[in-house]
Copies of this chain bind each other. A is one copy, B any other.
């Protein structure tokens, strides 16, 4: 982008550089998660949603687009949680396609939170579903969350998308839930927890995708609910953009995440879902206004905590 020479083989800039550009321009590392649960929708939309899946999907679509409008000035990206769309079947997938297109057109990066992972030939199909252009249409998402359990060859098709389409990945390393410890904290023969081994793999996988801002397009998910691990995670993956879920409804505070930002202002993204999109439930305000206010507040707090 900033180079005057030939453009690289990638028509689109590295995902990590697109993140850096958005973070620095908008002064925010906030990502708002789109987790549309029909039973939590504002009353005006919930009423529409009761008459079957197509109606529910239409209500979800309106809700998510309203949230995109509301939070757009305060976020670097939105993160649709694919499960909540998939729960509405093909109608939900249609809503997902419409919402992601809308968010892209609003200038936001889209991180599809799908946690996919499968053997090579199947992972290729998931890469096509989420990260590759669809005929004349752009990819569904700019980045995808992936699950590492199937190892390096299961990552290859996703890494190809990083190479060919400037996609980003966020690989699960240490998740924010209590059960995260059951497997991720298993102690290896050298005394380290399994997640450290996975972090090492993420660092390797990302080595080819370091952008002009020094960060890799292969990032990692590390729960903000385990702040004591953040320093270790950063050390093991100095170039990974760390996506931190767990701020807000899951109990972590912005200060818990500061250590993730030691590699730069765009070296971490902090996700908040429920506490932003359902902020209206705690106030008298319109649901869009409540989401905007909470996103603005969180974005400022995280920016300050990041130390940049």
Chain A residues with CB under 8 Å of chain B are: 35, 37, 52-53, 81, 83-84, 86-87, 89-94, 96-97, 115-123, 125-126, 128-129, 134-135, 140, 147-155, 172, 175-184, 186-189, 191, 194, 197-198, 201
Contact = CB atoms under 8 A, between A and B. Distances in A.
B125 A151 contact: no
Contact of A153 (B121, B177, B191): B177
Q: Label chain A's interface by main secondary structure.
A: helix
Copies of this chain held together in the complex: 2
Contacts of A86: 93, 125-126, 129
Nearest to A181: B151
A152 B90 contact: no
A140 B197 contact: no
A171 to B, nearest CB: 10
B81 A122 contact: yes
B120 A177 contact: yes
13 contacts: A83-B123, A86-B93, A87-B125, A89-B93, A90-B96, A115-B147, A151-B181, A151-B183, A151-B184, A155-B179, A183-B194, A186-B188, A194-B194
Q: Which of A37, A152, A177, A191 has the most CB of B within 10 A?
A: A177
Contacts of A84: 122, 125
B149 A177 contact: no
Contacts of A96: 90
A58 to B, nearest CB: 13
A263 B65 CA distance: 52
A295 B121 CA distance: 22
A306 B53 CA distance: 44
B129 A89 contact: yes
A116 B149 CA distance: 12
Contacts of A81: 122, 125
A257 B197 CA distance: 31
A148 B197 CA distance: 17
Nearest to A126: B83
B151 A83 contact: no
Contacts of A147: 115, 117, 147, 149
Contacts of A97: 89-90
Q: Which of A92, A115, A134, A155 has the most CB of B within 10 A?
A: A115
Nearest to A94: B90
A242 B157 CA distance: 27
A117 B150 CA distance: 13
Contacts of A120: 177
B149 A148 contact: yes
Q: 4 closest A-B pairs (Cβ-Cβ)? A: A151-B179, A151-B182, A153-B179, A83-B125
Nearest to A176: B119
A179 B194 contact: no
Contacts of A175: 119, 149-151
A75 to B, nearest CB: 20
